[in-house]
Structure 1
Amino acid sequence: KELLDKELISANEFDYSSAERVYQSDTEDKRGVDLFEQVKKRTEEEKKGLESRLERFMAIAEKGEGNPENGEKLFQTCLLCHSVGDKGYDYAPALDGSALRENEALLTAILDPDAALESSYAIYRVTKNDGSNIEGYLVKKDERGTTIGFMGGTKQFVQASEIRFEGFLGGRSFMPKGLIDSYSDEQVSDLLAFIKTLK
């Protein structure tokens, strides 16, 4: 609540359960009430949006008309964080065996990464003494400081003496939402066709 007051964090960084916990810690505190209402409203809007997008993409997936070769080119973006065989990075779960996943589970993971989040792949935030934030994948943390990784494999080390506080942002995936929202139906179909080759 103090961080919210100082505007060091915003309501967007809370998922439903974490906002609910803040609210339930003192149901009379207006800050907790306001936070919970904001997050509840945002969650409901996101759910409606996800359902309509999932419906659209499921219809494309069920046709199964994509070109895997074209899809492989689009898939290179995924390798900035995920790995397949000996390619890519381990900032996100390996995608080997994705051919075995149901279309709905696969599309939900792409459209709403937070819903399928594994805790070790949550965003990690370091807030420095100057108030600036660094967000990414937690590569390493020890008494010297913290190393954060970013898409494409770049890393940044922050000395312990420069860190005010740090931690995982609960419920928020390292993977951005909406990665395929701007894709045409043909591109989505091609990408899914290639993913279906990952045995």
Structure 2
Amino acid sequence: SDARTEILVAALESGELKPTELDPVRAQRLTNHRQPTIRNRARQVLEAASAARNTVLAAYAPVLTMAADPSRGRLVFEKQCTTCHRVGDRGVNVGPDIGDTRTKTPDALLTAILDPNRAVDNNSFAYSVLTDSGKAYTGIIISETSSAITLKQAEGKTETILRSEIEELRNTGLSLMPVGFEKTIPPEQMADLISFLKNWRYLDGAVPLGGK
């Protein structure tokens, strides 16, 4: 109803609901709403959020030409990324496989880290589950049957939930990867991290480093 939509838009405007918590389908409904006032208010908030990500990416653009050390980048990876990603013998496979980054440009890696919701693989959407007992789970669906689903969560934890206990199952339309790594990874460390992702397989010295 328009009343519920008004509450939703007001929550976005006040910051009570973050734009990243709004799935793409619902966001599209708001930005194409038949009521011009609701439509324009929603567009203003959501476009501002998109612009904010672009501002962060622009601020981190110098990372792509910085001198970088993949060995230092390995330490950044171990601290920031291993709860959901695995490279070599480090980390846990929850999110997309980033072990083979030879075909990915540094620019693409930077965008994926700082704006993970820009392009989400169909198999990597985070699902939100609410059970009839009030428990809430978020994770990637790794298997499902007629009677249950299994979610994979950060740190590789899995949770199997009976469908008979599910009150709500919702595709968030978002990546499980959080937004905001600019708050914990400064530009110099980001350059090191990207260099590690590009060059980790060469750190044993068997093959000379080829730069970032």
Structure 1 residues not aligned, in runs of 5+: none
Cα offset for 1:46?
2.1
Cα offset for 1:16?
5.0
**Which one of 24, 34, 51 corresponds to residue 27 of structure 1?**
34
Cα offset for 1:22?
6.0
With normalisation by structure 1, the TM-score equals: 0.78
1:14 alignment partner in structure 2:
22
Q: Is the 8 A contact 1:11 1:38 kept in 2?
A: no
Distance in 1, matches of 2:42 and 2:175, equals 17
Q: How does 1:21-170 map to 2 (within 5 A)?
A: 21=29, 27-28=34-35, 34=38, 36-37=39-40, 39-63=42-66, 65-76=67-78, 77-85=80-88, 87-170=90-173
Q: Is the 8 A contact 2:125 2:171 kept in 1?
A: yes
- Secondary structure at the aligned position of 2:155 is classed as coil
- Secondary structure at the aligned position of 2:111 is classed as helix
Q: Deviations over 1:7-35 (max 9, x none)?
A: 8xx674334554323665x725x9xx63x
Q: Is the 8 A contact 1:99 1:198 kept in 2?
A: no
Distance in 2, matches of 1:101 and 1:39, equals 34
1:178 alignment partner in structure 2:
180
Structure 2 residues not aligned, in runs of 5+: 9-16, 202-212
- Secondary structure at the aligned position of 2:168 is classed as strand
Distance in 1, matches of 2:146 and 2:62, equals 51
- Runs (4 or more) in structure 1 with deviation over 6 Å come to none
Q: Deviations over 1:150-186 (max 9, x none)?
A: 111112222222111213122x111111124322232
Cα offset for 1:191?
1.1
Cα offset for 1:140?
2.1
Distance in 1, matches of 2:180 and 2:73, equals 17
- Secondary structure at the aligned position of 1:115 is classed as coil
Distance in 2, matches of 1:136 and 1:39, equals 27
- Secondary structure at the aligned position of 1:191 is classed as helix
User: Identity, % of aligned pairs?
Assistant: 25
Q: Is the 8 A contact 1:14 1:39 kept in 2?
A: no
Q: Is the 8 A contact 1:16 1:39 kept in 2?
A: no
Distance in 2, matches of 1:52 and 1:178, equals 12
Residues 1:140 and 1:38: Cα distance change in structure 2 (over 3 Å): farther
Distance in 2, matches of 1:91 and 1:102, equals 22
Q: Deviations over 1:85-128 (max 9, x none)?
A: 45533322111332442222111111111102112101111122
Name which of structure 1's ranges 105-114 and 72-81 shifts more when overlaid on structure 2. Answer: 72-81
Distance in 2, matches of 1:97 and 1:149, equals 21
